[in-house]
Structure 1
Amino acid sequence: MGTLIYSTIMSLDGYIADEDGNFDWAAPDEEVHTFVNELERPVGTYLFGRRMYETMVYWETAQDLAGEPDCIRDFAEMWRAADKVVYSTTVESASSARTRIERNFDPEAVRQLKAQADRSLSVGGPGLATHAFEAGLVDECHVFVTPVVVGGGTRSLPDHVRCGLELLDEHRFDSGVVFLHYRVA
Structure 2
Amino acid sequence: MGILIYAANISLDGFLEDEAGSFDWSVPDEEVHAFWNEHERHIGTSLYGRRMYETMRVWESDDWLLDQPPVVREYAGIWRATDKVVYSSSLAEVSTARTRIERHFDPEAVRRLKRNSDADLSIGGAGIAAEAFRHGLVDECVLLVCPVLVGGGKEALPRGIRLDLELLDHRRFANGVVYLRHAVRRTA
TM tier relative to shorter chain = over 0.9
Residue 115 of structure 2 corresponds to 115
TM-score (norm: length of structure 2) = 0.97
Residue 143 of structure 1 corresponds to 143
Please report how far the alpha carbon of residue 62 of structure 1 lies from its aligned counterpart in structure 2 after TM superposition.
3.2
The one-letter code of the counterpart of 1:169 is D
The one-letter code of the counterpart of 2:105 is F
TM-score (norm: length of structure 1) = 0.98
Structure 1: 5+ residue stretches without partners: none
Partner of 1:57: helix, strand, or coil? helix
Residue 88 of structure 2 corresponds to 88
Please report how far the alpha carbon of residue 67 of structure 1 lies from its aligned counterpart in structure 2 after TM superposition.
2.4
The one-letter code of the counterpart of 2:11 is S
Quick one: distance in 2 between partners of 1:43 and 1:169?
18
CA root-mean-square deviation: 0.8
Please report how far the alpha carbon of residue 61 of structure 1 lies from its aligned counterpart in structure 2 after TM superposition.
1.7
Residue 160 of structure 2 corresponds to 160
Paired residues, number = 185
Residue 182 of structure 2 corresponds to 182
Structure 2: 5+ residue stretches without partners: none
Partner of 1:73: helix, strand, or coil? helix
Cα shift readout 1:141-161 (whole Å, capped 9, x = no counterpart) = 100000000000000000111
Quick one: distance in 1 between partners of 2:62 and 2:101?
21
The one-letter code of the counterpart of 1:4 is L
The one-letter code of the counterpart of 1:166 is E
Residue 6 of structure 1 corresponds to 6
